[in-house]
Structure 1
């Protein structure tokens, strides 16, 4: 770690930053000297922060602007096109609020071939999705209960899932093949199951506990388990001092899961998330089980089909409004939600639920807001694709422009808040900048891919000055430079035009847990949730 300059006659303030555990030491210098220039000092300090060895050979696009004064406080490579990772979600979410509207809801229906006036559906029963990312197991149960309450007790034909609201391209062609088993690269469908309270779609929860003795199989389960999934358990319980080696994988193209490795005897439970193949089929089987629980017997098979135009509607469910769905989407950086919104925009505007039809809606929406969108290349909605390119000054322009939109309050609320431990408030920033002036102050979107890291959002200075900032790092080696980003954000939170605050010591470097191994929440990372994992992220 480099040793920075020593500033004479300074009062030193210590602030603990909990990124992956780090410490920032700041030095506040009163504006006593006539030659003090707080803005020049800010720029010099940010330059020093960005000189951290972790960014050697990397490119950093950084820009800071005062919303109150309108002046640019700092800029470096602001017009360089860089990989944004999940900062792309800033564009996707804002466009969705403009194109779909903050009160937009997803509609899921159940219909029959004919009116079952006698309690029997003579023909097929259809469940029709429009992309609702909040369709939990309980939601499917509610739909089944509504079908039963309509008097239906029997279906002579098949139970068919209609997911034709979107196309059948499940995975973006740019996504890395090796990511496919992991929740952040789940397949996209117009009918999918939200497997947990975080509303992760297209996945199952994997839970495991050690067996009762050394050598006994580990107790492994998938939830929600359905007839279209299988689990082969080849795992075993190790000695109490053994390492956890348990892993659950499925072969690409199917839903045959295999558990291997082991857990130590008496060790902690293990949980993670794994994607399913063809989430529409999994959703259909979840609904079939719900119907059976309600006493509705389906004589035929569970499959897929297109609902006839004259089908009789038996049940309907509306999701929460988009302004509310933004909370789990943006707070937890949910990739599946981003792609669903892209396809929903395409369907609602061009009648095509495709990536192509949805992506072309983003730039016109941002133009309508008054954002200066230059040099943007958007390949997907989440930022998982390495085909995305974005400039830091474009992010800043968007952050500024959305403040004039009627839905800005809801959009701002959806951004993670530094140091706030409630996951649906702090989100991906809940463990960062704790105990600093940035805690409860910085509202920003994170972003992480291997060799890519970003943090962009809003911060209030010591004197109440509102600022926007964007930091996009590309080409760094090892773990993401989140402590460097945090040091900049804390420096901005300390900024005053009447007193200079100088950075004295940069925080140490630490690694970041792999997303699939983090115990904080099943399958989720304590940092970002969109990673392409290599050695570290």
Structure 2
């Protein structure tokens, strides 16, 4: 068992023993890797298996997020381009309208209304041709590594496309929201789709039941189909809400876009189709839309642990650094970024930006070294302010930690990134000990179906000795 303490930085043997006891008695020493550093100096104060590679789950976003800030930059924006290919006469485009995607995960109804406005300003009121989506910026498989057939239907496992949309300001790209409300007992619940069904079909096989009965309602898309099934029982007085991933983000986004265009007064010919393709050399660029900056996306990305944005960042890093917007190229540049910062990454391996894959491996030693090193970077404020703040009920502050460490004694003391995949739970960030001194920590835990109570009880005990 590896235990390291550094007496020169003020962590006493009593404190080391107390932290180790918390691991032994609460967490279980064989299931976890833990490291504490002095936040100011970066000195290792305590290490339990700190160099042991573990699955990081969404703690991987600390790495991909830092790399996005460091390589792409805080002011980086994704662009979506609109092209026309054909003749425009009397408001009628005799030809195709092409959308070239740049990986913007924030596209939504408001953006598409703006697109329609630009088309009308250009003089287009009718399109006799196809609506074509060029998503070739991101080559290869759209399903993220580590996402299986079951996960493909959930928004956390949504496909990654250069053309996508989000249902709201959380930027859960490539998804729609389906809500259900109860009716009279024995009747089907009503449902609502946000923002639009986008080519999917819904079968409502659910029933409204008495308030005393169990809520068994499920809203799921059948794998690799456009069929969304609402099933089970919804008691009166309750409701349901689920994020459903898009079957084909490019096509489904274009279908919603076409719907908005029509609502805004741009007609399509009955023969017009929604298809994937590429921008021909004969096409004319008429409008470029820019996303919010990386810095502006960062709170939604980190506070809500957004998987799609993580993978989009990695692919765009590959595009900017290697000329290819895929995982391999992006992660090659991420590794080079870490080496440049002199982060110890021996034993590290990663295949995505989100941490969804069970093939990813990080160490608490490397994570804490990164968290210390980032403090010297000009983008650290953006990074730090995006971390969930434990116990803060405002979801844009507390994020994924808003319902953890809610006791007043932990107020404004834990700023950290959560992580979860099956039987893996992680928490890494910055903490204020009972002494008032600030520390950097990383806890990576495996082997529990419900690991949050172990981490939370363990960290609560550890901070008593800091």
Any stretches of 5+ residues in structure 2 without a counterpart? 1-9
**Deviation of the 1:422 alpha carbon:** 1.5
Mapping 1:124-273, distance limit 5 Å: 124-211=96-183, 213-226=184-197, 228-264=199-235, 266-273=236-243
Contact between 1:418 and 1:432, CA under 8 Å: does it hold in 2? yes
| Residue 410 of structure 1: aligned partner | 382
| Deviation, structure 1 residue 391 | 0.9
Residue in 2 that maps onto 1:47: 20
Q: Distance in 2 between matches of 1:117 and 1:168?
A: 38
For residues 466 and 233 of structure 1, the distance between their equivalents in structure 2, rounded to whole angstroms, comes to 53
Alignment partner, residue 319 of structure 1: 291
What pairs up with 1:274-285 in 2 under 5 angstroms?
274-285=244-255
1:227–1:172: structure 2 CA closer, same or farther, 3 Å change rule?
closer
Counterpart position of 1:528: none
CA separation in 2, counterparts of 1:276 and 1:458?
36
**CA distance in structure 1 between the partners assigned to 2:55 and 2:152 by the alignment:** 20
Residue 80 of structure 2 corresponds to which residue in structure 1? Answer: 108
Shift of 1:217: 1.3
Q: Deviations over 1:19-43 (max 9, x none)?
A: xxxxxxxxxxxxxxxxxx8622222
TM-superposed deviation, 1:203: 1.1
Structure 1's unaligned 5+ residue stretches are 1-36, 497-537
Aligned in 2, Cα 1:468/1:38: closer, same or farther, shift over 3 Å?
closer
* Aligned residue number for residue 7 of structure 2: none
**How far off is 1:487 after superposition?**
4.0
1:8 aligns with none
Corresponding residue for residue 398 of structure 1: 370
> How large is the Cα RMSD of the aligned pairs?
2.0
Question: What's the CA shift for 1:438?
Answer: 3.1
State the secondary structure of the residue aligned to 2:164: coil
How far apart are the structure 1 equivalents of 2:321 and 2:43? 38
1:445 aligns with 2:414: no
Deviations 1:363-394 (A, max 9, x none): 10112223222211001110110000111101
1:460/1:492 contact within 8 Å kept: no
Write the deviation string for residues 201-257 of structure 1: whole angstroms up to 9, x where unpaired.
11110110112x222111123323345111111222223322212212222222111
Provide the rounded CA distance (Å) in 2 between the counterparts of 1:493 and 1:487: 10
Shift of 1:419: 1.5
3-state secondary structure, aligned to 1:418: coil
Shift of 1:58: 4.4
TM-score, reference length from structure 2: 0.92
CA distance in 1, matches of 2:241, 2:409: 35
Aligned to 1:379: 351
Q: 1:236 to 1:487 in 2, by over 3 A?
A: closer
- Report the secondary structure of 1:457's partner residue: strand
Residue 317 to residue 137, structure 1, CA distance change in 2 (3 Å): same
Per-residue Cα deviation, 1:253-301 (whole angstroms, up to 9, x for no partner): 221112222212x321211111121111110011101110111112111
Tell whether the 8 Å contact from 2:18 to 2:465 is kept in structure 1 after alignment: no
The structure in which a higher percent of residues are helix is 2
